[in-house]
Structure 1
Amino acid sequence: MTASGIRLYFQDPNDYPLIRDGFTEALHHEVATIFNHIPHEDLAIQWDCAIEDTLIEQALAKAGKANDNVKDMVTELFAPASEVCSHIPSNVQVGYHACYGTSTGWPVREPQDLTGVVLLCNAGVSQSGREVNFLHLPTVSSGEDVDAYVAPLADLQTNGARVYIGLIHALHGKDGASEQMKAISSHIPDFGIAAPCGFGRGPGKMSSQKGLATPNKYMEGIINDHIAAVKMLMEVRNR
């Protein structure tokens, strides 16, 4: 959201209000330009929430749980959501991507469970002022207790949004991906799967395709990972 994503770049955060209206107007103009050039039925707007997730995970680590102070902070973070979504036509899809960060190679953060991304997505759904069509929640390794790792999904409030779980990565260890799929299915019977982050397809821990010599071979490996994950999901659902 504009406040949390821009204020951090100011040496004095108190200067942010001086440019806020101009920045918001420029953002609306950019989004409107997209709408004027791409048919609405072919378009989806995805809000990438990396800074928001950072702040939420930091607050959770400090508080030790999702207490009222943390929840109030999340609500404040997403206060601009209705404003940045207000110019998006109703026939254009809107979604939120909770991001664990890629600046030093994905993932920058490896939370112990999905509490933070659930808080983030709930805020996006409740504060956008319009229908939210999809939510993308990344995972990392679920450790020794996969049920505890995915338990926060019981509090996910989609309001009809399609859920995609970003679990196609190399952090799971043996059988970790299928175990996550099974555990997630107990909370969300019907969900899609994806990579955890688009930017994370470069350096970092995300890929199982390290050492491949060419970009084409690298992308071929990524595609094969996705095909294998879809087959795995079908097997989990058919058991």
Structure 2
Amino acid sequence: MTQPQGAHLVGSVNYDDAEKTMRTAAATLGGRLRRIPDGEVGKRFHWIMFQPDVIGQAEGIERVGDQPIPFPAGIDARPLRIAEGVDAAGIELPPLGYADAALASYAIFTRLRGEGAIAAGTRFQVSLPTPVGVVSSFFAGGDRAAIEPVYTAVMLRELDAILAAIPHEDLAIQWDVASEMGIIEAAPAFGRIMDVWWEGDPFPGLVERLAALVDAVPAEVEAGIHLCYGDVAEKHFFEPVDSANLVRFGNAVVAASARDLTWLHLPVPIERDDEAYYAPLAGLEYDGELYVGLVHREDGVEGAERRIAVAQKFVPRFGVATECGIGRAPAGTTEGILQTHAAVAAAW
């Protein structure tokens, strides 16, 4: 078995602060990483769960339910709705928090790079959720279609603020794509989304939306996609039969995008070391950086190497990653997960 080349950190890392995340990742993985995220620390620890507290501040947006639904980090998990009689097009959403977080973490990144803790040429990675992910998670019914263009416009303003403040040669943008996979798979939790959001097959619309997000990233900035089936207590919201829909969606977005995609990440469930799961990878029409998310905390190097051996039968060249972020991994396990990446992947 030839070692895969390179490693990719999906985004979230279970440390309390960005400096520890970046310093530890650089020290452990070194030349295997082409880009380093800040670990999605603070309110971003639970991915998009802080967004209702942000969006809910806007005039014309209401929380559903009279009592807050307590969530870790002081988050209120109640969903959202458009107030009665309000035209969604006139709603002014506040800044979403992603640009502010990116700029604060980039200052740490540049300091660490200046100290030599991060190698020259390494890029700063910013992971952003797709509007479909946020809108489908916190709005219901016809409100989804109404608020989607409003939220999309604000997310693109967040992206523009990041692009304006961080030198493009230092920057990498990743779009986190989870709800889309649930819709494509017709997973039970996502069935009604299709009924009220789109007429007919949702696949073309999902491709169009994601390709537009990729194309919103200038060519001199790296752009990547993380395809995902969620991470709730280290479990997917849906276990795919195989990688066929990941390959189908990835191929379609690559074909629809006007710019080159820098990297593509595909997840692998821990129990899948059978050829049937990986066989569709032979049909992947993409020659950029591919990262296969086959590193798992529970079985470490042995499990990763077992899955690598099967994956290489169908796609000879790839780097390694976990299936999702490791922000919710048990405390004290982060170092071991990073070390597994280092053990099974060669440097660039």
Q: Normalising by structure 1, what TM-score? A: 0.74
Q: Is the 8 A contact 2:263 2:291 kept in 1?
A: yes
After superposition, the C-alpha distances for 1:87-117 in whole angstroms (9 at most, x for unaligned) are: 3211111111011211343333332321222
Is the aligned partner of 1:228 residue 2:306? no
Once the two structures are TM-superposed, the CA of residue 136 in structure 1 deviates from its matched residue by 0.4
Aligned Cα RMSD in Å? 2.8
- Aligned mates of 2:245, 2:260 — CA distance in 1: 22
Number of residue pairs matched by the alignment: 206
Once the two structures are TM-superposed, the CA of residue 170 in structure 1 deviates from its matched residue by 4.2
Q: What's the counterpart of residue 257 of structure 2?
A: 128
Q: What's the counterpart of residue 68 of structure 1?
A: none
Q: Percent identity?
A: 34
Once the two structures are TM-superposed, the CA of residue 15 in structure 1 deviates from its matched residue by 2.8
Is the aligned partner of 1:22 residue 2:150? yes
The verdict on how the C-alpha distance between 1:103 and 1:46 changes in structure 2, with shifts beyond 3 A counting, is same
Q: Structure 2: 5+ residue runs without aligned partners?
A: 1-129, 189-200
- 1:154 maps to a residue whose letter is A
Q: Is the 8 A contact 1:122 1:156 kept in 2?
A: yes
Give the 3-state SS of the residue equivalent to 1:121 in structure 2.
helix
- Aligned mates of 1:172, 1:75 — CA distance in 2: 37
Is the aligned partner of 1:82 residue 2:211? yes
Q: What's the counterpart of residue 323 of structure 2?
A: 196
Pick the aligned partner of 1:51 from 179, 186, 189. 179
Q: What's the counterpart of residue 177 of structure 1?
A: 304
Give the 3-state SS of the residue equivalent to 2:208 in structure 1.
coil
Q: What's the counterpart of residue 248 of structure 2?
A: 119
- Aligned mates of 1:149, 1:53 — CA distance in 2: 16
Larger helix share, 1 or 2: 1
- 2:254 maps to a residue whose letter is V
Q: What's the counterpart of residue 288 of structure 2?
A: 161
The verdict on how the C-alpha distance between 1:17 and 1:56 changes in structure 2, with shifts beyond 3 A counting, is closer
Q: What's the counterpart of residue 110 of structure 1?
A: 239
Q: Structure 1: 5+ residue runs without aligned partners?
A: 61-71, 204-209, 234-239
Once the two structures are TM-superposed, the CA of residue 49 in structure 1 deviates from its matched residue by 0.7
Per chain length, whose mean CA-contact separation is higher, i.e. which structure has more relative contact order (CA < 8 Å, sep 6+)? 2
The verdict on how the C-alpha distance between 1:106 and 1:224 changes in structure 2, with shifts beyond 3 A counting, is same
- 2:155 maps to a residue whose letter is L
Deviates most, 89-98 or 124-133: 124-133
Pick the aligned partner of 1:150 from 259, 278, 301. 278
Q: Normalising by structure 2, what TM-score? A: 0.52
Once the two structures are TM-superposed, the CA of residue 22 in structure 1 deviates from its matched residue by 2.6
Once the two structures are TM-superposed, the CA of residue 165 in structure 1 deviates from its matched residue by 0.7
